[in-house]
Amino acid sequence: MSTQKSRVWFITGASTGLGRSLAEAVLAKGDKVVATARKEETVADLEKKYPGHAKAVRLDVTDLAQVKASVQAAVDAFGRIDVVVNNAGYGLVGTVEEVSDAQIRHQFETNLFGLLNVTREVLPRLREQKSGHILNITSMGGQVSFPGFGMYHGTKYAVEGISESLAQEVAGLGIKVTIVEPGGFKTDFGTRSLVRGERIAAYQPVYDALVQAFSSAVFGDPARAAQGIIKAVEADAPPLRLALGADALQGIRAKFESELEEYKRWEPVSVDMAFDDPAEGVLDIKTLLG
């Protein structure tokens, strides 16, 4: 484990759920936290409880001006940022046909572009420090898709792919990246934070099947999820991906096994794609990458 004594954490979406649990756990262990939320008053109690260690900051991740101001506020308060937790986001339930254009765009603006706004703003500072750890909170839904959540999955799959590239890009700069994939936890994700599309009767069987599938779901404890994230940050070699919850690990493993089996079944078709003349298939990498 790392011997570093104290870190400065920048956590988006820290008012409730996993973000709140993580902020509380980090502060309890003596680290410093910049707790951000769209309504600053929802995290102001942390600053009162942990004076000198917690900083409450207003942040709507879709507002570039607020992103810049919040990062600067973090640096002004504590001099640096060591861990960035991109946790802000919400769920949108509705089939591809049911959700509106406005709902789709707002889902991507928050879950994907908001995350990119924060990440791109902090990267120059982390590069200058030659250290830092970015944690992008996706979901088991960044690896496994369910009907009725296509737009939500789209944002999380995008974050997974971008994060994987980012991890390779910054590996030589002293910056680490971890994709956190929670399963079901007892938060307000499925209640207050969930947005719903307008229902079309033809898709009712989809929702009936979802209700049946998840009727016996057992939710995890956000406090334990927070401790799992802290362990990953404190590790000398943190994982690129961290599944949180037995349901997440089981679901992701089953998805990969099913996909691999299908790839194997169609392997003869997949590999029979080369030109008869090998020279036709030569790629000039230098030209491609400029």
pLDDT in tens, the chain (290 residues): 444 579 999 999 999 999 999 999 999 999 999 999 999 999 999 999 999 999 999 999 999 999 999 999 999 999 999 999 999 999 999 999 999 999 999 999 999 999 999 999 999 999 999 999 999 999 999 999 999 999 999 999 999 999 999 999 999 999 999 999 999 886 665 456 689 999 999 999 999 998 888 777 778 999 999 999 999 999 999 999 999 999 999 999 999 999 999 999 999 999 999 888 888 888 888 887 87
Residues designated catalytic? 152
pLDDT number for residue 2: 43
Q: Could you give all domains of the chain from N- to C-terminal order, each with its CATH number?
A: 8-247 (3.40.50.720)
CA distances for 121 relative to 67, 115, 200, 265, angstroms: 7, 10, 41, 44
Looking at residue 194, its pLDDT comes to 81
Which amino acid is residue 162, in one-letter code? I
One-character DSSP codes across 212-277: HHHTT--PBPHHHHHHHHHHHHHSSS--SEEEESHHHHHHHHHHHHHHHHHHHHTHHHHHTTS-SS
